[in-house]
Amino acid sequence: MKNYHLLQQAYNFEDFEKNGKQLIEQLSTYLKVQQLPESKANNWQTPDKELDYWENYQFNDLTGFVDDLLSHSIHLHNPKYMGHQVSVPAPLSILTNLVSGLLNNGMAVYEMGKAATAIEKCVVELFCEKVGYDENSNGVMTSGGTLANLTALLAARQALKDSDIWQDGCQEKLAVLVSNQAHYSIDRAARVMGLGNDGVVLVPVNPGFAMDNQALEISYQKTVDAGFKVIAIVGSACSTATGIYDDLEFIGNFCQTNNVWFHIDGAHGGAAVFSEKYKSLLKGIEKADSIIIDTHKMMMTPALSTVVLYKDKVKGSQTFHQKAQYLFEDKGYDDQWYNSGLRTFECTKFMMSLKFYVLWKSYGIEIFEENIDCLYGLGKEFAQLVDKHQDFELALDPQTNIVCFRYMKSGFDESQLNDLNKTIRQSLLEDSEFYIVQAVLNDTIYLRVTLMNPLTTGVHLQNLLNKITLIA
């Protein structure tokens, strides 16, 4: 590349060192600033204005760009960030992400990602053990819970008796049963699989927002009577809007009796298997045929990083019976743990196992228990504050770090209360000191927090309520 001056510049490792040192210093300062009481969690802007800013942006150098990027981003490390359920990444894990970006080992085939592939197996085995699977289990990591749910449901479909849909295409009416509170990725996966409207059977929830057990029996019978083959019943652990766990033990037994694949969407709350205090919420998890857990939600790693676990490793290996002989030797699919590309949609894949592995090995698995206990504990603490306050109402007692609540005003009817809480949430967004979201439950608009940041304290929680009262 002697004559290519730009390439010479771009691949200069001395510049890398200089830029890298500067960047780490800059990001460390950023982390420090997030903890100052006067710092805000957000810097809200309308989409058009944000676009305008970047379209007219004058790029000078990396440092300047990162400064501007930071100030134009939402700050998850700020203890007043209480919005969507994405992890507040632990610094060691962030650094590992950098290494992964540098190595860029693709992982589609073993040769392109030796270490990361073996480390992925170690990580998956830890999760298999934690959920109570035996040595017949295995799994794979995917880029996110959405893709993980699709991957697991494809395995469920391929495991249907008397059909090879991968080979023959879909000849029958198929259905998935899931609670009406489930994350939309299940619905989306089912539709991607060609199931259509009628193939996504939404089971009603009980007053506590968990799948209603009796309603499940009725929905299942109706679906079968209507001529559908049920691919899977999906339990939410926990559901997204309310953070409530379905009764996994009941669903597991029901699936066993009816010989149906049991899938658990544990993207958020599956991580509670690491907590002595909260793992009972997942009672029955070991009955599942497949489970997904995001590490970029409750396990402190940057996005995206998800484990897909299969109770029966053979069934988990039969989904993609597609020959790609230039990549894989034509051996038994089940044995080739080291060619993880056989078990996932993805071809080139991020070395996502590393960011979980470093946390595990540096701090011990107890770090994940601390994180769950701390954050779920904050959820309870916040619920108590809300409950004590006469101007606020809880939607329900939280089981996790997700809490739905609303501001109450005497003399207001339901529609006025909805308008008021919607306005409060919009004002909070534009004010930017705190970041929280909202949820609609049975046509009622609630404010919703997900306490993702272990640096959040009771003082921040109280200040949020004070601020809402002021806005109201």
Nearer to ligand PLP, 192 or 218 (CB): 192
- How far CA 248 is from CA of 178, 234, 300, in Å, comes to 12, 9, 25
As measured in angstroms, the least distance from the Cβ of 241 to ligand PLP is: 10
74-78 long-range contacts, CB within 8 A, separation 24+: 74/41, 74/42, 74/43, 74/435, 75/34, 75/39, 75/40, 75/41, 75/42, 76/452, 76/453, 77/30, 77/31, 77/34, 77/35, 77/453, 77/455, 78/34, 78/35, 78/39, 78/40, 78/41, 78/453
Nearer to ligand PLP, 309 or 420 (CB): 309
Using the structure block, give the residue that is written with the tokens 């396990």. 299
Peptide bond just before 255 cis, omega within 30 deg: no
Angle between helices 353-363 and 91-103 (to 10 degrees): 140
As measured in angstroms, the least distance from the Cβ of 379 to ligand PLP is: 15
Rounded Cα–Cα distance for residues 404 and 393 (Å): 9
Nearer to ligand PLP, 79 or 243 (CB): 243
Which residue of this chain has its Cβ atom nearest to ligand PLP in the complex? 145
As measured in angstroms, the least distance from the Cβ of 32 to ligand PLP is: 29
As measured in angstroms, the least distance from the Cβ of 192 to ligand PLP is: 13
As measured in angstroms, the least distance from the Cβ of 171 to ligand PLP is: 29
Nearer to ligand PLP, 131 or 304 (CB): 304
Nearer to ligand PLP, 255 or 307 (CB): 307
Nearer to ligand PLP, 304 or 424 (CB): 304
- What would the two tokens of residue 355 be? 């960011």
Nearer to ligand PLP, 34 or 401 (CB): 401
What are φ and ψ of residue 179, in 5° steps?
-70, 155
Residue 113 CB contacts under 8 Å (≥ 6 apart), including other chains: 105, 106, 107, 349, 351
Write out the residues near ligand PLP by the rule CB under 6 A: 85, 144-146, 183, 185, 236, 240, 265, 267-268, 294, 304, 306
As measured in angstroms, the least distance from the Cβ of 304 to ligand PLP is: 6
Nearer to ligand PLP, 186 or 465 (CB): 186
Nearer to ligand PLP, 74 or 160 (CB): 74
- How far CA 264 is from CA of 176, 231, 239, 246, 260, in Å, comes to 12, 13, 11, 9, 13
As measured in angstroms, the least distance from the Cβ of 179 to ligand PLP is: 11
As measured in angstroms, the least distance from the Cβ of 209 to ligand PLP is: 13
Nearer to ligand PLP, 183 or 313 (CB): 183
Please, what sign has the CA dihedral across residues 410, 412, 413, 414?
negative
Angle between helices 458-471 and 366-388 (to 10 degrees): 40
As measured in angstroms, the least distance from the Cβ of 76 to ligand PLP is: 14
43-49 long-range contacts, CB within 8 A, separation 24+: 43/71, 43/72, 43/73, 43/74, 43/432, 44/429, 44/430, 44/431, 44/432, 45/72
What are φ and ψ of residue 81, in 5° steps?
-80, 120
Residues 442/75, Cβ–Cβ less than 8 Å = no
Please, what sign has the CA dihedral across residues 237, 239, 245, 248?
negative
Which residue, among 302, 267, 125, 128, has the nearest Cα to 189 in the 3D structure? 267
As measured in angstroms, the least distance from the Cβ of 442 to ligand PLP is: 19
As measured in angstroms, the least distance from the Cβ of 421 to ligand PLP is: 23
Nearer to ligand PLP, 265 or 289 (CB): 265
